[in-house]
A = this chain, B = another copy of it.
Amino acid sequence: MDELKLVKPQPFYMQIQQTIKEMIWKGILMPGDRLYEAQLAKQFETSRSPVREAFRALINEGLLVIDEKSQITVYKPSLGDVRDIYECRLALESRAVSIAAQCATDLQLERLSNTLKETCKAIERKEKEKIVQYNVCFHEQIINICGNLRLKKLIDDLHSLTYFYRVLNVKESGRAALILKEHTEIFNAIKNRNPEKACKKLIKHTKNDLENLINLIEK
């Protein structure tokens, strides 16, 4: 009887916070949609209190927006916002990748390499869900390598603000192969312990991503 623990359920307000986030990611809630405490409370079969608390946290995270009349809506980034968000990501992720290039272990490099291989397979099989998943995974692995949890959370929160659009991005365009190419270049720079190059490649990759996203949103 080694590791037998009872699982304590998380409080409602935490589960609700997480669930709303996922609903936005999955497109069940769309940017601009208005949210009602009572309606969600009914849906989750709770009272309004935990829903309210979840709202506050998500507002602080930026995923929900509250106006002067206390109406709450799903964050709908303007074009300018998207640029600002990417500017922040650029700052944070370029630092992350340059640290990763300095401190990645062999095992971590191998795992990164594996992720790229899996992406390649997924592309051949045209498994769109998996492609997105492995692309996300690639970025996550880099951030994990650099080991700064706070950096990770900041980047994650920024990602979640445009997650909905970004899924469209990969799904609807033929960019999967190009993304893989760029990821491979970044990986090689990390493997060769070349922080400057890794940084440069990542910046280029992110800027491409942004251009593509903007085209998509403008349509």
Q: Does A151 contact B (CB under 8 A)?
A: yes
Cross-chain contact B84 with A154 (CB below 8 angstroms): no
Q: Which of B11, B81, B90, B92 contacts A70 (CB 8 A)?
A: B11
A60 at the interface (CB under 8 A from B): yes
Q: Is the interface of A mostly helix, strand, loop or mixed?
A: helix
Contacts of A13 on B, CB cut-off 8 Å?
56
Minimum Cβ distance to chain B for residue A49 (Å): 7
Within 8 A of B (CB), among A166-218: none
Q: Give the CA-CA distance A61 to B52 in the complex, in Å.
A: 17
Is there a chain B Cβ closer than 8 Å to A110's Cβ? no
Q: Report A's interface with B, CB cutoff 8 A.
A: 11, 13, 49, 52-54, 56-62, 70, 81, 84-85, 87-88, 90-92, 94-95, 99, 148-151, 154
CA distance A62 to B157 in the complex (A): 13
Chain B contacts for A151, CB-based, 8 A: 84, 87-88, 91
Query: Are A148's CB and B84's CB within 8 A?
Result: yes
* B84/A95 in contact, CB under 8 A: no
A90: B residues at CB distance < 8 A = 95
Q: Which 10 A-B pairs have the closest CB atoms?
A: A91-B95, A57-B60, A60-B60, A56-B57, A56-B56, A53-B56, A84-B148, A84-B150, A91-B91, A91-B92
